Structure 1
Amino acid sequence: MKTKSLDWTSFRRFLSYLAKYKKENWLAVLFGLIAGSTTVYITYLIGRGVDQLVGENQVHFTGLFKIGGLFAGIVLLTVVSQWLIQRLGNKVAYWAVADLRKDAFSHLNRLPLRYYDQTSHGNIVSHFTNDMDNISIAVSQIFNQLFAGMSVVLLALFMMLRMSVVLTIVVLVSTPIIFLVSYLVARSSQANFAAQQEIVGTVSGFVTEMVGNQKIVKAFQQEENNQEQFEKINQELYVKGQKAQFSSSLSNPLSRFVDHLAYLAVGFTGGYLILSGSELVTIGVVSSFTIYSTQFTKPFIEISGVMTQIQMALAGLTRTFDLLDKKEEDSDADKQDLPTIKGEIQFNYVDFSYENGQSLIEDFNFTAKPGETIAIVGKTGAGKSTLVNLLMRFYEVDSGEILLDGLNIDDIKRDQLRKSFGMVLQDTWLFDATLRENLTYGNEAASDKEIYTALQKAYMYDYVMRLPHGLDTSIGHHGIKISDGQRQLLTIARTMVSEPPMLILDEATSSVDTLTEQKIQSAFLEMMEGRTSFVIAHRLSTIQSADKILVMENGQIVEAGTHEDLLEKKGYYEQLYRVQFEE
Structure 2
Amino acid sequence: MSKKIFKRFFPYLKIYKKEIFFALFSGIICGATSVLITYFIGKSVDTMTGLGKVDLTLLISIIGLIALLIITNAISQWFVQVLGNRVAYLSVAELRKDMFNHLNTLPLKYFDNTSHGNILSRFTNDLDYVSEATTAIFNNIFSGMTIVIISLITMLVLNMPLTLVVIIGTILIFIVNYIVAKTSQSKFMTQQKIVGDISGYISEIVGNQKIVKAFQYENRSQKTFENINSELYTVGKQAQFASSLTNPLSRFIDHISYLSIGLVGGLLVLNSVGNVTVGLISSFIIYSTQFSKPFIELSGIMTQIQSALAGLQRTFEIIDEKPETPDTNNILNKEKLSGKVEFKNVYFSYTKNQPLIENFNLLVEPGESIAIVGKTGAGKSTLVNLLMRFYDVDSGEITIDNVPIKNYSRDSLRRAFGMVLQDTWLFDGTIKDNLIFGNPKATDNEIIEACKASSIHSFIEKLPNGYNTVIGQGGLKISDGQSQLLTIARTMISKPPMLILDEATSSVDTLTEIQIQTAFLNMMKGKTSFIIAHRLSTIREADKILVMDSGKIVEVGNHKELLNKKDSYYGKLYKAQFENIKE
Cα distance in 2 between the residues matched to 1:59 and 1:442: 85
Is residue 573 of structure 1 aligned with residue 559 of structure 2?
no
Counterpart check, 1:194 vs 2:189: yes
**Secondary structure, aligned partner of 1:72:** helix
Q: 1:381 Cα shift?
A: 0.2
Aligned pairs for 1:246-261 (under 5 A) are: 246-261=241-256
1:138 to 106, 124, 133: 133
- Contact 1:8–1:314 (Cα < 8 Å) also in 2: no
RMSD (Å), alpha carbons = 0.9
- For residue 420 of structure 1, the aligned residue among 395, 411, 416 is 416
Number of equivalences: 578
Matched, 1:278 2:261: no
- Is residue 24 of structure 2 the alignment partner of residue 57 of structure 1? no
User: CA–CA distance in 2 between the matches of 1:213 and 1:495?
Assistant: 26
2:277 is matched by which residue type in structure 1?
T
Q: Distance in 2 between matches of 1:201 and 1:401?
A: 38
Partner of 1:304: 299
Counterpart of 1:361 in structure 2 is 357
Q: Does residue 1:167 correspond to 2:162, yes or no?
A: yes
Cα distance in 2 for residues equivalent to 1:459 and 1:253? 70
Normalising by structure 1, we get a TM-score of: 0.98
2:257 paired residue number: 262
Task: Using the aligned pairs only, state the percent identity.
Answer: 58
**Match in the other structure for 2:487:** 491
Write the letter of the residue equivalent to 1:451: I
CA distance in 1 between counterparts of 2:340 and 2:332 reads 17
Runs of at least 5 residues in structure 2 that lack an aligned partner in the other structure: none
2:392 is aligned with 1:396 = yes
Please give the alpha-carbon distance, in whole angstroms, between the structure 2 residues aligned to 1:44 and 1:125: 51
How far apart, in 2, do the equivalents of 1:415 and 1:16 lie? 31
1:43 match = 38
Query: Structure 2 CA distance, aligned partners of 1:240 and 1:438?
Result: 44
Equivalent residue runs for 1:361-380 within 5 Å: 361-380=357-376
What pairs up with 1:39-438 in 2 under 5 angstroms?
39-338=34-333, 340-438=336-434
Does 1:449 pair with 2:445? yes
Structure 1: distance between partners of 2:373 and 2:274: 101
Q: What CA distance in whole angstroms lies between the structure 2 residues aligned with 1:34 and 1:446?
A: 61
2:458 and 2:573 map into 1 onto residues whose CA distance is 37
What is the CA–CA distance in structure 2 between the aligned matches of 1:228 and 1:390, rounded to whole Å?
39
Deviation at 1:188, TM superposition (A): 1.0
The Cα of 1:336 is off from its aligned counterpart by: 4.9
SS in structure 2 at match of 1:8: helix
- The answer as to whether partners of 2:426 and 2:434 remain within 8 angstroms in 1 is yes
Distance 2:275 2:417 in 1: 87
Give a deviation string over 1:550-577, Cα, whole Å, max 9, x none.
Answer: 0000000000011111111131111112
Note if contact 2:328-2:408 (Cα within 8 Å) is conserved in structure 1. Answer: no
Q: Give the SS at the match of 2:2.
A: coil
Contact 1:45 1:67 in 2 (8 A): yes
Structure 1 portions without partners, runs of 5+ = 1-5
Q: 2: CA distance between counterparts of 1:438 and 1:134?
A: 35
Compute the displacement of 1:8 (Å): 2.7
Q: Are the equivalent residues in 1 in contact too, given 2:331–2:412 (CA < 8 A)?
A: no
8 Å contact from structure 2 (residues 328, 407) kept in 1: no
Q: Deviations over 1:362-421 (max 9, x none)?
A: 000000000000000000000000000000000010000000000000111000000000
Give me the whole-angstrom Cα distance separating, in 1, the residues matched to 2:407 and 2:171: 61
Q: Deviations over 1:429-471 (max 9, x none)?
A: 1111111111111111111111111110011111111111111
Deviation at 1:337, TM superposition (A): 4.2
TM-score, normalization by structure 2: 0.98
The 1-side partners of 2:339 and 2:204 are apart by: 39
Kept in 1: contact 2:188–2:239 (CA 8 A): yes
**Where does residue 11 of structure 1 map in the other structure?**
6
> Residues 337 and 519 of structure 1: is their aligned pair in 2 closer, same or farther, counting only changes over 3 Å?
closer
Name the amino acid aligned to 1:490.
L
Range that drifts further, 568-577 or 19-28:
568-577
Indicate yes or no: 2:528 matched with 1:510: no
Q: Is the 8 A contact 2:329 2:408 kept in 1?
A: no
Paired with 1:342 and 1:279, the residues of 2 have a C-alpha distance of: 98
Deviations 1:80-132 (A, max 9, x none): 00011000011110000110111111111110000000000000100111001
Alpha-carbon distance, 1:334 to partner: 4.1
CA distance in 2, matches of 1:466, 1:184: 68
Contact 2:176 2:249 in 1 (8 A): yes
Equivalent residue letter for 1:254: L
CA distance in 2, matches of 1:193, 1:207: 21
Q: Is the 8 A contact 1:423 1:505 kept in 2?
A: yes
Task: Provide Cα deviations, 1:225-256, integer angstroms capped at 9, x if missing partner.
Answer: 11110000000000000000001000011111
Match of 1:562 in 2: 558
Using the TM superposition, give the Cα deviation of residue 29 of structure 1 relative to its aligned residue in structure 2, in angstroms. Answer: 0.8
Equivalent residues of 2:369, 2:524 under 8 A apart:
yes
1:3 corresponds to: none
CA distance in 2, matches of 1:182, 1:97: 26
1:272, distance to aligned residue in structure 2 (A): 0.6
Residue number in structure 2 paired with 1:479:
475
